[in-house]
Amino acid sequence: MSILPLSLDKVSFRAGDRALLDGISLTIESGPKTVILGANGAGKSLLLRICHGLLGPSGGKVRWAEGTTRQYERQAMVFQKPVMLRRSVAANVAYGLKLRKVEAGERARRVADALRRTGLTDFADQPARLLSGGEQQRLALARTWALEPEILFLDEPTANLDPGATRAVEEIVSGIHDSGAKIVMTTHDIGQARRLADEVIFLHRGRVAERAGADKFFSQPSTEEAAAYLRGDLLW
Amino acid sequence: MSDMGQAFVLALQLIAALDAELLEIIARSFAVSLAAVAIAAAIGLPAGAALAVYRFPGRRAVIVLVNALMGLPPVFVGLLIYLFLSRAGPLGFLGLLFTPTAMIIAQAVLVTPIIVAICHRLTRDLYEEYRDQLCSFGARPHQAVRTILWDARVSLVTAVMAGFGRATAEVGAVLIVGGNIAGLTRVMTTTIALETSKGNLALALALGLILVLTAIGVNAVAMSLGGVSAYRRG
């Protein structure tokens, strides 16, 4: 049984007396690639971290599908700045599998698969921290792919990458989607959102300003904030 | 001046001739200190990393205490261990006073806080960097401790080396609990103290030189290990 849908019920997050997220209610179903779009400071990363369980909300509830267990093992996250363990590329992929007690033969198979699918096979024995930025982010994706998550959160995974590396990451993200994982990704790059999104959640100042299918969102945004953001107006 | 020159020449002769008494003392020193450091590392490395990972009430106080204990006066540690191990003490029945085991215990007590404190500093920054990623992987705190110990292993050599340096160099604790018995509990530092007071400067100087060379050698090894690794691990 899937851990999806993920439901957020009036989730808020406060820092001091500032509400960084304010009353967010959402249901995230399996299937379409969901892109969370919004300006810096809109609360995208925070929302993702709360969904993934790295942070607890100040108010409201985050719920996975009823009757499911061990949800933390069935999801994964890729960060804007990948954290490379001080180990070989292959050991970085194997690490999460070891934590999940995947037995050695199966582990080796999944590591090899993940490296092949991300084009990192030739780097398997290299220290991960000597990879370039783009290769590191591909490794971060390989690492999560090997875990075969039901849902994968990606927090601006291409924010620090050049166009070539960005395209490689986008292709891998699509590959992970095709293998059956739900993709939830934040970006402030409208072009990337157009390329990847099946549906868009537009965050503005800690609230969901609009949620729509990608075609609809990009052609006829229904809120003034979203329209302004798409036009490139400064919202602040 | 000529006294010193003479003693120096004699010292070099002793070293060159691989004098039996000299070798025995050196071997015992290393055996005691290595054992003490092994015990201190087995306790101190996990404890230091645990201080970096776990959050519990009083954590800061523990860190302050451990750092303060780094400067523990060896004679005081010697005295405490002496009281515990002496006939009338709570552990007197073990009959350990004036044995190499007592010296190992004393040095382990001295060195453990050093290893805990240095290990904590080194692993704290690494854990800062790793925390979100390890949480995301679903690592439990005890698994995070193992992970950062392994990933920081090269820099942790420094912590262990610092402990070893402290163990070989201290004299107060082993003198009190070991008693400086010839052929049994006499180590380099206690010999230096004794021979100097007897005016036998050559042996003292020879041992002093060995101690300094050991310190240099240990640090050279630590540094080259660190250098190789900085290149290999990025």
DSSP label of B152: T
Interface test with B, best of A50, A86, A131 (most B CBs within 10 A): A86
Q: What is the pLDDT of residues A88-132, one digit of tens each?
A: 999 999 999 999 999 999 999 999 999 999 999 999 999 999 999
Residue A212 confidence (pLDDT): 93
Token pair listed for B132: 């979100």
Residue A70 confidence (pLDDT): 83
Helices A89-99 and A104-117: angle between axes, nearest 10 degrees: 130
Residue A27 confidence (pLDDT): 94
Whether the pLDDT of residue B220 is over 70: the answer is: yes
Residue A2 confidence (pLDDT): 87
Kind and range of the H or E run holding A9 = strand A6-15
Residue B230 confidence (pLDDT): 58
Query: How many residues in chain B?
Result: 234
Domains of chain B by start residue, with CATH: 21-226 (1.10.3720.10)
Domains of chain A by start residue, with CATH: 6-64+71-82+148-231 (3.40.50.300)
Q: Which value does ipTM take for this structure? A: 0.90
Question: Rounded to a whole number, what is the distance in Å from the CA of B152 to chain A's nearest CA?
Answer: 8
Q: What is the pLDDT of residues B112-163, one digit of tens each?
A: 999 999 999 999 999 999 999 999 999 999 999 999 999 999 889 888 998 9
DSSP label of A26: E
Q: What is the residue-wise DSSP string for A114-168? A: HHHHTT-GGGTTSBGGGS-HHHHHHHHHHHHHHT--SEEEEESTTTT--HHHHHH
Whether the pLDDT of residue B83 is over 80: the answer is: yes
Residue A148 confidence (pLDDT): 95
Among the partner-chain residues A49, A85, A130, the one whose CB lies closest to the CB of B151 is A85
Share of chain B above pLDDT 90, in %: 70
Q: What is the mean pLDDT of residues B177-191?
A: 93
Cis peptide leading into A149, omega within 30 of 0?
no
Q: How far apart are CA B78 and CA A41, in angstroms?
A: 59
Whether the pLDDT of residue B62 is over 70: the answer is: yes
Prediction pTM value: 0.87
A84 contacts in B (CB within 8 Å)? Answer: 234
Instruction: State the pLDDT confidence band at B201, using cuts at 50, 70 and 90.
Output: confident
A53 contacts in B (CB within 8 Å)? Answer: 135
Residue B5 confidence (pLDDT): 84
Q: Average pLDDT across each block of 10 residues of chain A; the chain has 236 residues. List them in order.
A: 90 91 92 92 92 93 87 92 94 96 96 96 95 96 96 94 94 96 93 94 93 93 90 71
Task: Find how far residue B151's CA is from the centre of its chain.
Answer: 22
Token pair listed for A167: 């395209």
- Please provide the distance, in angstroms rounded to a whole number, between the alpha carbons at the two ends of chain A: 43
For residue B122, give every residue at least 6 positions away whose Cβ sits within 8 Å of its Cβ, in sequence order, or none. Answer: B48, B152, B155, B156, B158, B159
Instruction: State the pLDDT confidence band at B219, using cuts at 50, 70 and 90.
Output: confident
Interface test with A, best of B133, B145, B229 (most A CBs within 10 A): B133
B129 contacts in A (CB within 8 Å)? Answer: 83
Residue A4 confidence (pLDDT): 86
Contact B8, B205 (CB under 8 A): yes
Contact A124, A88 (CB under 8 A): yes
Among the partner-chain residues B129, B137, B234, the one whose CB lies closest to the CB of A96 is B137
Residue B233 confidence (pLDDT): 52
Q: How far apart are CA B177 and CA B173, in angstroms?
A: 6
Q: Which of the pair, B227 or A52, is modelled with greater confidence?
A: A52
Residue B234 confidence (pLDDT): 46
Q: Chain-wide mean pLDDT for chain B?
A: 91
Q: What is the mean pLDDT of residues B41-63?
A: 96
Contact A58, A94 (CB under 8 A): no
Kind and range of the H or E run holding A177 = helix A163-178
Among the partner-chain residues B132, B147, B152, the one whose CB lies closest to the CB of A79 is B132
Q: How far apart are CA A97 and CA A126, in angstroms?
A: 19
A95 contacts in B (CB within 8 Å)? Answer: 137, 147
Q: What is the pLDDT of residues B6-25, one digit of tens each?
A: 888 888 888 888 888 889 99
- Please provide the distance, in angstroms rounded to a whole number, between the alpha carbons at the two ends of chain B: 51
